[in-house]
Amino acid sequence: MIDPFSLRIGHGFDVHAFEPGDHLWIGGCRIPFERGFRAHSDGDVLLHAICDALLGGAGLGDIGRHFPDTDPTWSGADSRDLLRRVVVLLEQGGWRLVNVDATVIAQAPKLAPWITPMRESIAAAGGWSTEQVNVKATTSEKLGFTGRGEGIAAEAVAMLARTPRAD
């Protein structure tokens, strides 16, 4: 029987606007593109949504609380490193990932060729198997800020499990 107190879900959402540049970091992959992300870190919108889903599930707040965008430590940060740090926080609370499912909302670039590399990169950074990580992409049918090509959004949900304490 599933103990409801040993399972939690978390949700994450993030947006980054474009600025001049020649690549995007999404899901731990460097994707050549005609724009870059405006951000304090590398702007990896998908990893940020996943970090927030993990932190949310564990009741640990959000990414900005742990890695403030006012702190120069995180300037240009590799978001795979932020994810590793989030996983350590989860482990300290006894939480481990069951699975994460995420959606990137982008009119462009075409992300289908990057889905498998993103799953592999996210899984490697989190210390998970690729099967625990699902990534999807959708356009917003040219509607809204993503549809106008002003930026990219990502959403993620994560399920966490806590092993019962021995004592």
Ligand X SMILES: Nc1ccn([C@@H]2O[C@H](COP(=O)(O)O)[C@@H](O)[C@H]2O)c(=O)n1
Ligand Y SMILES: C[C@@]1(CO)OP(=O)(O)OP(=O)(O)OC[C@H]1O
Q: Which is nearer to ligand X, 2 or 112 (CB)?
A: 112
Site for ligand X in 89-148 (CB under 6 A): 106, 110-112, 137-139
How far is 149 from 70, CA to CA, in rounded Å? 27
Q: Which is nearer to ligand X, 79 or 146 (CB)?
A: 146
Select from 68-76, 93-101, 136-144, 150-158 the region that touches ligand Y (CB under 6 A): 68-76
Select from 24-32, 37-45, 88-96, 137-145 the region that touches ligand Y (CB under 6 A): 37-45
Select from 4-12, 69-77, 98-106, 138-146 the region that touches ligand Y (CB under 6 A): 69-77
**Residues in binding contact with ligand Y, number by CB under 6 A:** 13
Interface contacts to ligand X, rule CB under 6 A: 106, 110-112, 137-139
